[in-house]
Amino acid sequence: MAVPRLLVIAGSDSSAGAGLQADLKTAQAFGVYAQTAVTAVTAQNTRGVHAILPVAPDMVRAQIEAALGDIGADAIKIGMLGNGAIAAAVADVLEKVDLPLVVDPVLLSTSGAVLLDADGVEVLKSRLFPRATLVTPNLPEAEALTGIAAGSEHGLRNAAQAFALCGARNVLFKGGHGDGPQVRDVLVEGGKQTIFTAPRQATLHTHGTGCTLATAIACGLAQGRTMADAVGRAHAYVQEAIRTAPGLGADKGPLNHAR
């Protein structure tokens, strides 16, 4: 049987809790072979992001073309893009590609560092969301992208409609930033809602949850799973990764990606 293949387009996290490093560990846990296209190098740890160096757009494009032109991919995941020039370069390449695409709209780090500029947001909305099989915003990202607070049922429905107007066919609203004793992730697929819940865990160690969840979903799509099945498996994986986090660092520590 052929090994499922994933291409991850994202930034590097020197602490290895998020970004490409978390993506690679997640793919390994699911038995998927992951290639990477690095969009930015960051200096960060559990306390925050200390420096960001974007990769030249032509180099990002060359990495994607090299990966797809040889080993190939069964799905693609996009994480941190950094700026509009990089986002446009990615969009240019992907216009020629017809593969399941998971877009994690990384706008801010957990510590509040800006990870995508205004031009990049416009490329996301106008060129990448229409190509995406799934967009995976957390609640602050959903509000920043649509202007609608998605914490209530009414707000979520309106935000889903706003994403649809941008061409996003399916959206997973991640509830980690919500309130209450339950984490509630809501998949809106073709207008139908599927809800995934778990007890909210009292822990600092949630660095890289968004990256990990989106990559785990992309692994499921690469393996031929349905959207709901891929999301459900990824949701359970992230909850266990939080529960068994190794407790590293002085602040928001990494997950346990080993299965």
Q: CA-to-CA distance for 129 and 16, rounded, in angstroms?
A: 27
Q: CA-to-CA distance for 75 and 44, rounded, in angstroms?
A: 28
Q: CA-to-CA distance for 129 and 131, rounded, in angstroms?
A: 5
Look up residue 191 and give its two tokens. Answer: 């207008």
Say if CB 3 and CB 31 are below 8 A apart: yes
Which residues are identified as catalytic?
174, 206, 208-211
